[in-house]
Amino acid sequence: MGRNMDAERRPYGAFIVVLCVLLFSLCIPGVQANLSEASSGEEIFLSCIQDDECLLTPVASGEEVISNTVFASPAQPDTVTLEFEMSPQQSDLALLPTTLKSMVIDLRFTGELSGANKPELEVSLLLASSVTTWNFDAETLPSASTSNPYTLEDEELQLNGERLLWPEQTVRLRLTFVLDRPGTWELHLRGASSMILEIPWSEDVHSRNSDEPSSDLEPRSTDFETIHYGALLENDRDCWRFDIEQHELLNVYLEWESVPVEIQQSHGLPDLIQPSGRLSPAPSVVVNENDDTTRITYRWRALPVGEYIFCIGGTAGKFQPYLWSGQLAFESLGPSNPVEFDGESFYPAGSAILGDEKDAVELSKSGFGLLFISFLALIFFVIDSLKNSTSSMLRLGVFTPGVLMILVGGIFHPMWVLADEGKNESEIEFDDLIDMRLQQLWDISYPGVPEQVLVTHSSSTWGMLDGDRLEMRLEVEEALPLPDGRWQLVIPELQDFRIDQAIFSQVALGGVQTGDQGMLEQQSVRFILLAGRSLFLDLLMLEAMMVVDEPPKSSIFHIDFEMVTVQATDTVSVPAWGTRPNSVSSNDWVLLQSALFPEQVSVSLCDCDFDLLDVRFIPSPGFDIADVPQILDIENASGLIPFSSPVALLGMAMCAFASRSESHRRKRAEALARSLFGDDSKWK
């Protein structure tokens, strides 16, 4: 009879469980509720429908507390593992942050004999193929009702260079704790346990890819002079078929939306297939890159009339939305004409200068004049001192201190300064820094270089990675007084530095840079755009940080920065300033980043009859002296003592006075001897 009643209850019990699951899923925002929702700092909650079914959800739901009683001992410990799978699954492509913003786990254990405590806990966060683990020690609580959760803040994630989270990849949190005594454990939920992952970028790749054509074999028919929206998802081939009428110029404007550099498509030349089935000749190309988009203009001239097929292709593991449109025109100046380019792209010197150039103080290196005069004077006075002295007080009290002052102020000090103004073996100069940075960017722009390597190196400040040391010698011609009493150095090399000349010189140095039809290779195009932006930002940061506390005494300065990693600034597509000098605090660096970064940076390349580059920017209006860190490892070449010249001149005056006084005393003594002994031969 009891068995029959249990059999009858079982279907009802199962129905109730299923109903609870359905109701629980309905209370969770379903379609878009994945990790991408955390981009604004929203919490992800640990939720459990029942003790053995737990999830990561965007809202606090389910059981308020899950618990269990264990009968463990040191000889037979009990290991408890709880896994929280994200629900619903990830549906967007997301760029993972490098740090976990925060995590709170409210886990408690009440032992039958030991009372309330927190057991040792291992927390593992699984994001795609990466696993980050944190360990917490055991802790005794005053009472079982005390809330003292495990907490994490700004913890680095071990992503192993894989920052992309693709749709339906794993997001899971695992809690493991070992109990070695009898008692009851409790995990408090419903908002008590949660974590925050601030996702910098995410995209619904499938919805953005809605307007793509099918393939090369079945191109989509369209009108040429309309706007087409789409996206290249991995190695897709998007193709269109259209008719071309009589024209002189055929322009295609292709605009790529900014995405993280890890997933940017290669932006290679598209295929424009003529009615004869042959590829059209290579077009002239103008690339304009800014914070939001990369706009590429392709121009062909006088192509045959007929039906064309236009195709763009992607690369595996990449994604990027785009739009394109066509234009038929007759010969005239258009947006891809080289006349729009200045022909010379200079760094805008003074962009980060805060002092008034009218108050500039000119600086110069120490010369040999004082050293030479002091050396001659010292020889003269030493020779003169070989004569017999008539006054020990004059010799020891005036002459000897004067000689010492000449030695210290006129000889030792200038020699020390000249040695300090020299270049150490470990130091580089401005030109060396530029060459090293461009070579680094050239190396990482090769096809096949892992994207994480590209991000790490291109976002580093001056090309210096974590642990690198920047030792540089700078010769400065002017220093500007600042309102807070400090001095800003004006780097003369920046006054007429041509960014385009430096970049194209590196392209030529890198080897063969043009294809069969005279077009730049894809690596060269990628390098030029990357280098134009990175080099500009490097020089802007260098100019802003040339601030010293003391009035400069010499034109030679030594920079010694030991670099450490910091969160990069700018959009996720082109991160910048991802390393900082160790002497600058993280907070000061973040303040400098946000204040100095321009409102807009635009890099344009014309791959036409003449390779031309144009770098333009809108400066940040909020940058001021308060944003420059107080502690910077910039040393001015110095000597042994301050006021060395007055000291040396005073020493010469003292020696001259002593020598003249000795000369007068000797003459008076000689005259006195003649008056007493007559004109004896011994006085001749």
Q: According to the model, what pLDDT value does residue 469 have? A: 93
**pLDDT (average), residues 165-172:** 90
The model's confidence at residue 274, banded by pLDDT at 50, 70 and 90, is very high
pLDDT in tens, 187-213: 999 889 999 988 888 888 888 876 666
Distance set, CA 496 to CA 3, 342, 349, 472, 489 (Å): 94, 15, 8, 20, 16
The model's confidence at residue 270, banded by pLDDT at 50, 70 and 90, is very high
Q: According to the model, what pLDDT value does residue 388 have? A: 60
Are the beta carbons of 185 and 82 closer than 8 angstroms? no
pLDDT in tens, 209-262: 766 666 778 889 999 999 998 899 888 889 999 999 988 889 999 999 988 888
Q: Are strands 78-86 and 53-57 parallel, antiparallel or unpaired?
A: parallel
Query: Please, is 480 exposed, middle or buried when counting C-beta atoms within 10 Å of its C-beta (0-12, 13-18, 19+)?
Result: buried
The better pLDDT of the pair 10, 438 is held by 438
Helix (H, G, I), strand (E, B) or coil at 96: coil
Q: According to the model, what pLDDT value does residue 28 have? A: 41
The better pLDDT of the pair 512, 300 is held by 300
Q: According to the model, what pLDDT value does residue 16 have? A: 44
**pLDDT (average), residues 300-320:** 90
Q: According to the model, what pLDDT value does residue 187 have? A: 92
The model's confidence at residue 309, banded by pLDDT at 50, 70 and 90, is very high
The model's confidence at residue 365, banded by pLDDT at 50, 70 and 90, is low
Domains and CATH numbers, the chain: 2-203 (2.60.120), 206-336 (2.60.120.380), 347-684 (no CATH)
Q: Are strands 121-127 and 201-203 parallel, antiparallel or unpaired?
A: unpaired
Lowest mean pLDDT among 146-155, 167-176, 415-424: 415-424
Structure tokens at 353: 């200068």
Residue whose pair of structure tokens reads 């897709």 in the numeric block:
236
Residue 528 pLDDT exceeds 50: yes
Are the beta carbons of 568 and 577 closer than 8 angstroms? yes
Residue 145 pLDDT exceeds 70: no
Packing angle of the helix pair 369-385, 413-421 (nearest 10 deg): 150
Are the beta carbons of 459 and 441 closer than 8 angstroms? no
Phi/psi for 581 (5° steps) reads -65, 140
Give the chain's length: 684
Q: Where are the beta strands (DSSP E) in 314-423?
A: 319-329, 361-362
pLDDT in tens, 71-81: 888 888 899 99
Q: According to the model, what pLDDT value does residue 493 have? A: 92
Residue 14 pLDDT exceeds 50: no
**pLDDT (average), residues 519-534:** 82
Q: According to the model, what pLDDT value does residue 199 have? A: 87
The model's confidence at residue 641, banded by pLDDT at 50, 70 and 90, is low
Listed in sequence order, the residues at least 6 apart from 351 whose beta carbon sits closer than 8 Å to its beta carbon are 540, 543, 617, 619
Residue 17 pLDDT exceeds 60: no
> How far is C-alpha 412 from the chain's CA centre?
43
Distance separating alpha carbons of residues 625 and 488, to the nearest angstrom: 10
Cis peptide before 88 (omega within 30 of 0): yes
Task: Give the Cβ contact number of residue 43 at 10 Å.
Answer: 19
Q: Highest mean pLDDT: which of 274-288, 329-343, 367-381, 654-668?
A: 274-288
Distance separating alpha carbons of residues 524 and 520, to the nearest angstrom: 6
The model's confidence at residue 596, banded by pLDDT at 50, 70 and 90, is very high
Are the beta carbons of 66 and 52 closer than 8 angstroms? no
Q: According to the model, what pLDDT value does residue 343 have? A: 64
Residue 335 pLDDT exceeds 70: no
pLDDT in tens, 423-451: 788 899 999 999 999 999 999 888 778 87
Distance set, CA 191 to CA 57, 100, 105 (Å): 11, 18, 10
Lowest mean pLDDT among 3-12, 30-39, 154-163, 634-643: 3-12
Distance separating alpha carbons of residues 91 and 169, to the nearest angstrom: 9
Are the beta carbons of 222 and 228 closer than 8 angstroms? yes
Q: Average pLDDT over the chain, rounded to whole?
A: 81
Residue 344 pLDDT exceeds 80: no
The better pLDDT of the pair 414, 568 is held by 568
Q: According to the model, what pLDDT value does residue 432 have? A: 94
Q: According to the model, what pLDDT value does residue 40 have? A: 53
Task: Give the Cβ contact number of residue 632 at 10 Å.
Answer: 19
Alpha helices in 141-283 (DSSP H): 205-208
The model's confidence at residue 519, banded by pLDDT at 50, 70 and 90, is low
Q: Where are the beta strands (DSSP E) in 504-587?
A: 547-548, 556-565, 579-581
The model's confidence at residue 405, banded by pLDDT at 50, 70 and 90, is confident
State percent of the chain over pLDDT 90. 30
Q: According to the model, what pLDDT value does residue 30 have? A: 39
Distance set, CA 159 to CA 99, 132, 200 (Å): 10, 8, 15
Residue whose pair of structure tokens reads 């600042």 in the numeric block:
482
Residue 413 pLDDT exceeds 70: no
The model's confidence at residue 630, banded by pLDDT at 50, 70 and 90, is confident
